[in-house]
Amino acid sequence: MTTHYRLIFTTCANKQEARAMAEQLVQLKLAACVNILPEVESIYMWQDKVTSATETKLLIKTKSEKMNQVIQTIKKLHSYEVPEIQVIDVATGNMAYFNWMDEVLN
């Protein structure tokens, strides 16, 4: 089965920012569902220094045709200068879930 769905990952500085972003994406019908993972530890290079931070991870479920709008909304709402935005193509899954996504995102 080939689908036209995407899973988009981003991290936020805190749970409040993540919740506000998730609610906005769902309210605008850009995402059918957003999972909030309240605490992840990130270690990364920033301005030539190894840095660590506790962040909140979002898993955003959307359709391919809404992907660019989701990315633009993340950039607009995000507090980071360079937010993580990674997109994964969904190859297969539960068709009933995809049907639900189609209903919600129309």
Amino acid at site 1: M
**Alpha carbon distance 94, 98 (integer Å):** 7
Task: Name the E strands within 23-99.
Answer: 33-46, 49-63, 86-90
- Whether the predicted pLDDT of 18 surpasses 70: yes
Phi, psi for 34 (deg, rounded to 5): -130, 125
Mean pLDDT of the chain: 95
Global model pTM greater than 0.95: no
For residues 15-36, give the mean pLDDT: 98
Q: Please name each of the domains of the chain with its CATH number.
A: 5-104 (3.30.70.120)
> What confidence tens digit (pLDDT) does each residue in 52-78 have?
999 999 999 999 999 999 999 999 999
